[in-house]
Structure 1
Amino acid sequence: MLAHLHVKNLALIEEIEVEFGPGLNILTGETGAGKSILLGSMQLILGAKTSKNMIRENAPYALVELLFQVENEKALETLKALDICPEDGQVLLSRKIMDGRSINKINGETSTVGQMKAAAACLLDIHGQHEHQSLLYQDKQLAILDAYGKEKILPAKEKVSLAYKEYSKCKTELGSMNMNEEQRNRELAFLEFEIKEIEKANLQPGEDEELEARYRKMSNAKLIVDSLQLVHNLTGYESKEGAGETVGEALKEFSHVTQYDPELTPLAETLTSVDGLLNDFNRELSAYLDELTFDEGEFYETERRLDLINGLKAKYGRTIEEIFTYRKLQEEKLEKLHKYEENLQELKEHLRELENILEKKSDELAEIRKEYSKQLEQKIIQGLKDLNFLDVNFAIDFRKKKNYTDNGTDDIQYLISTNPGETLKPLGQIVSGGELSRIMLALKAILADRDEIETLIFDEIDTGISGRTAQKVSEKMAVIGQHHQVLCITHLPQIAAMADSHFEIEKHLQGTETITQIHVLKEHDSIRELARLLGGAEITPAVFENAKEMKELAQKQKNTRFK
């Protein structure tokens, strides 16, 4: 459940901290006090878009933190799958907004908005003022039915989804094969040309690297000869300027003095080695120069071969290996084209098989949905009667779509009759906004028994109702509160009287600033707030007594009827 809420610098809220309890938590307050801001702060954790306009004026940032105490095993499994490990059973979700950007954290670790949204979605569910309008959309109606019968429906949906994926893949492949004889002949000629062009080149692995090295050597032959001739002269014995001649002269001079000092012998030996190395180097260099020749014919052939290979690389791959791979792929395409009619028939037959599988899986899914729809119809009828629809009839109409989808072929519509003798008609043709709101509440109550989400939030679910209907709605909220933590923003005293914990949201001036605050009400203050909801601006003793009686009756109902 949601144990703690901390909001700072968000719109009219300077800073508030609230400890919520189990059961039914009621939030009331004057119009414009900031109830919608409080709900908006929770929606931010669910991934709502941020804006710098949300930040309180002159504040550097806005902060929202929700602390959950998680006990539901399914929720714990979902969090684990998201790589979120509760600490002592607690999960802290926080979002800090700064100049239009936000920093999101889960248990102190930075996360993405998507990760935050996924974590929050398994912990709380917000029903806003306008969500009931989604009931008019058939996709939403189908989603509700699927959620109700998820034990059998979800596995069946997965089978349909897999079958549809295979069917779509085959259908796409078949579509890509559709070509007339002229197109096929043109493609055959093109593939044969490419394959022959590669084969004719008779490429060898690594050939390009060898040719490039040879071409580089031949194209720089004159530069190599000139440079090596200079090196030969500088290190040779043919001229007095050559290093070999100079080292030889030095050795002669050394030989005149080594007989006088034995310590000079090692130096003389080193110089002798240098002379030998220079002599060997000069001899090998001379042999290289004698063998270095430039054959224009060989150069031309090397250049032509390289141009051919580079031309093939530009068309078919960056390396010879990639060209070989490309040729193999084209050969496979050519073989398929030669067997076009045979392959086409096989693919058509395979598509028919996959379509039969998909149709069977879709029909199985439809049967399971119909099975659960009968149960759901009866539960909705009973739930609506509990909410003061005195003579109501409800049905789920099934039709089959013309096309296959990954969600089956079911096209459903909720039908309702709210008066005796009226025929069943689609929701949008019959019900008002207030009635839609009650239908959504009935569905939430039905799904709450099957839902793993511990915290449900209702924002003015009582819009457009009063009197006996309001009493019925309050009773339904109390029933849901027996199994879930419920946070409900309301303006009706009948609902507020059912509170297990009652919070007041108020707005007041602090200096020149307007500030929204929230605080828990003790029993006497809760009765005073009920009296305000009952009597408006002036709370007379009679109104206060009426509020007190309403609170006592609500408490009696909770202690007896709802236990």
Structure 2
Amino acid sequence: MLSHLHVKNLALIEEIEVEFGPGLNILTGETGAGKSILLGSMQLILGAKTSKNMIRENAPYALVELLFQIENEKVAQALKTLDIYPEDGQVLLSRKIMEGRSINKINGETSTVSQMKAAAACLLDIHGQHEHQSLLYQDKQLSILDAYGREKILPVKEKVQEAFRQYSACRAELKSMDMDEEQRNRELAFLEFEIKEIEKANLRPGEDEELEHIYRKMNNGKQIVDSLQIVHNLTGYEAKEGAGETVGEALRELARVKQYDPELNTLEETLTSVDGLLNDFNRELSAYLEELTFDEGEFYETERRLDLINGLKAKYGREIKDIFVYRDQQKEKLEKLHRYEENLQEQKNRLEKLEAVLLKNSNELSKIRKEYSEQLEKTVIQGLKELNFLDVNFAIDFQKKKNYTDNGLDDIQYLISTNPGESLKPLGQIVSGGELSRIMLALKAILADRDQIETLIFDEIDTGISGRTAQKVSEKMAVIGRNHQVICITHLPQIAAMADSHFEIEKHLRGTETITQIHVLQEEDSIRELARLLGGAEITPAVFENAKEMKELAQKQKNTRLK
């Protein structure tokens, strides 16, 4: 469950820390106090987009931290598949928002938004103010059914997705093969030309680098000769200023005085080595200069060959090995074109086989979905009756799509009847906003039980309801709270009265700043907040007594009938 929430520098929130408890956690407060900001902070952990406008004015960053106590083994296993391991039974998700970027961490280790989102999806489920509207879309309805029967549906759904991928790829390839005889002849001629051009060049691996070295040497031959001649003179023995002559003279001078100091023998040996090296160098340089020749015909042939190779590189690849790869690919295409009719028929046969597999898997998926839909229909009807749908009927209608998809061939629609004698019709044609909200609540409760999600968060699930219906919704929330942690933002006193933990969100003016704060309410304060929800601006003794009675009745219900 979510045990601790820490929010800092987010919109109107300067810094708040909340310790949530098990069961039903209720958050109430005046309109505009910042309840939506608090919910928004949790949605950031679920991967909601960030912007610099979220950061409190004059603050360098905004921070959201959610600490979860992992008590369910299935949740721990789900986290393990994401390579997340609770530390002392806890998982800490944090997101730090700065201008232009955000830093996400799981148990102190940096993670991506997608990793954070996947982890959060195992730990909590948030129902926003307008999420129930998504229930009108058939894709959402299908995803709910798939989530309900995920144990058996997911493996088959993955088979359908893989079969559809292969089928689509084969179909695309078959479409690309479609060409008339004139197109084939043009393609054949083009491929033969390219292959012939490459093979005629008779390229060798590494030939381009070798020729470039030779060409560079030839193209700069005169400069090489002039420079080496100078080097030969500077290091030789012929010219008086040559290094060889200079070193020889130095050796002769050392020879005159070495008899007076034995230590000079070492210096003489070193200089003798230098003289030997200079002599070897000068001899090798002379040999190099004698062999250095410039053949104009060879230079022309080298230049022409390089131009040919560079032209082929520009057309077929950056290196000779790339040209060879391209040639082999074109040969393969040519071979396929020569066997066009045969290949075309093979591809058609392959497509038929892949389609048969896709159809088989899609039908298997549809069969399993229909089995689970019967269970879901009964469970939803029971859940809706608990939410004050007195005479309700609910069904899932299956139609077949015209084309294959990676989600199978099922085109489903939720149908409902909320009055006696009324025929089943699509949700959008019958239900109001308040009814739709209750249907989503029933579905959320059903899915939470199957998925073992520990924490459910509801933002104003009470939209469009009042009176007896509100009482039924509050009872449902209390029932869900027996097996799950529920965090609910509400304006209805009937729901707030069921709280196991009651929090008030307030907005204060501090100097020129507006800040949002949250604090837990003890029983007397909780009753006073219920009175505010019941009576508005003026809380009379009668309203207070009414609130007190409501709280006592709610507690009595939780202790007896709801157990």
Q: Give TM-score, length-normalised by structure 2.
A: 0.91
TM-aligned CA deviation for residue 506 of structure 1: 2.9
- The answer for the alignment partner of 2:537 in structure 1 is 537
Aligned partners of 1:546 and 1:203: how far apart in 2?
97
SS class of match (2:450) = coil
Aligned partners of 1:490 and 1:283: how far apart in 2?
99
AA at the equivalent of 1:33: A
Aligned partners of 2:319 and 2:424: how far apart in 1?
71
- The answer for the alignment partner of 2:470 in structure 1 is 470
Aligned partners of 2:245 and 2:29: how far apart in 1?
109
- The answer for the alignment partner of 1:227 in structure 2 is 227
1:159-211 CA-partner distances (Å, limit 9, x unpaired) = 10111111111112112211221111111111111111111111223332332
- The answer for the alignment partner of 1:414 in structure 2 is 414
- The answer for the alignment partner of 1:301 in structure 2 is 301
SS class of match (1:463) = coil
Aligned partners of 1:233 and 1:225: how far apart in 2?
12
Aligned partners of 2:108 and 2:388: how far apart in 1?
47
Aligned partners of 1:122 and 1:199: how far apart in 2?
60
SS class of match (1:345) = helix
AA at the equivalent of 1:443: L
- The answer for the alignment partner of 1:144 in structure 2 is 144
1:321–1:548 CA distance, 2 compared to 1 (3 A): same
Aligned partners of 1:158 and 1:513: how far apart in 2?
53
| C-alpha RMSD of the superposition | 2.9
Greater Cα shift, 49-58 or 130-139? 49-58
SS class of match (2:391) = coil
Aligned partners of 2:314 and 2:75: how far apart in 1?
56
Greater Cα shift, 384-393 or 149-158? 384-393
TM-aligned CA deviation for residue 241 of structure 1: 5.7
TM-aligned CA deviation for residue 311 of structure 1: 1.7
Aligned partners of 1:489 and 1:139: how far apart in 2?
28
Aligned partners of 2:507 and 2:261: how far apart in 1?
110
- The answer for the alignment partner of 1:342 in structure 2 is 342
- The answer for the alignment partner of 1:562 in structure 2 is 562
Greater Cα shift, 142-151 or 448-457? 448-457
Greater Cα shift, 311-320 or 401-410? 311-320
SS class of match (1:449) = helix
Seq. identity, %: 86
Aligned partners of 2:15 and 2:120: how far apart in 1?
22
1:104-158 CA-partner distances (Å, limit 9, x unpaired) = 3333333333333222222111111211100100000001101111111111101
Aligned partners of 1:6 and 1:63: how far apart in 2?
8
TM-aligned CA deviation for residue 271 of structure 1: 7.4
1:188–1:96 CA distance, 2 compared to 1 (3 A): same
Aligned residue pairs total 563
AA at the equivalent of 1:85: Y
Residue 426 of structure 1 pairs with residue 426 of structure 2: yes
- The answer for the alignment partner of 1:156 in structure 2 is 156
Aligned partners of 1:267 and 1:388: how far apart in 2?
111
- The answer for the alignment partner of 2:128 in structure 1 is 128
Aligned partners of 1:117 and 1:172: how far apart in 2?
34
User: Pairwise mapping of residues 447-462 of structure 1 onto structure 2 (< 5 A)?
Assistant: 447-462=447-462
- The answer for the alignment partner of 1:203 in structure 2 is 203
SS class of match (1:179) = coil
Greater Cα shift, 425-434 or 19-28? 19-28
Aligned partners of 2:371 and 2:80: how far apart in 1?
33
Aligned partners of 1:546 and 1:348: how far apart in 2?
76
- The answer for the alignment partner of 1:69 in structure 2 is 69
TM-aligned CA deviation for residue 476 of structure 1: 0.9
1:63-93 CA-partner distances (Å, limit 9, x unpaired) = 3322211122232233333333322111222
1:195–1:57 CA distance, 2 compared to 1 (3 A): closer
Aligned partners of 1:312 and 1:64: how far apart in 2?
59
1:341-394 CA-partner distances (Å, limit 9, x unpaired) = 111110110011001100110010001001111111111111111111111111
1:469–1:307 CA distance, 2 compared to 1 (3 A): same
Aligned partners of 1:53 and 1:28: how far apart in 2?
25
- The answer for the alignment partner of 1:487 in structure 2 is 487
1:214–1:394 CA distance, 2 compared to 1 (3 A): same
1:179–1:258 CA distance, 2 compared to 1 (3 A): same
Aligned partners of 2:471 and 2:265: how far apart in 1?
121
1:443–1:275 CA distance, 2 compared to 1 (3 A): closer
Aligned partners of 1:342 and 1:351: how far apart in 2?
14
Aligned partners of 1:100 and 1:405: how far apart in 2?
38
TM-aligned CA deviation for residue 314 of structure 1: 1.9
- The answer for the alignment partner of 1:353 in structure 2 is 353
Q: Give TM-score, length-normalised by structure 1.
A: 0.91
TM-aligned CA deviation for residue 214 of structure 1: 2.5
Could you list the runs of 5+ residues in structure 1 that have no partner in the other structure? Answer: none
Greater Cα shift, 217-226 or 336-345? 217-226
Greater Cα shift, 268-277 or 4-13? 268-277
AA at the equivalent of 1:218: M
SS class of match (1:450) = helix
1:267-292 CA-partner distances (Å, limit 9, x unpaired) = 88887777766666555544444443
Aligned partners of 2:510 and 2:230: how far apart in 1?
94
SS class of match (1:464) = coil
SS class of match (1:307) = helix
1:210-265 CA-partner distances (Å, limit 9, x unpaired) = 32233233323333333344444555565656666677778888889999999988
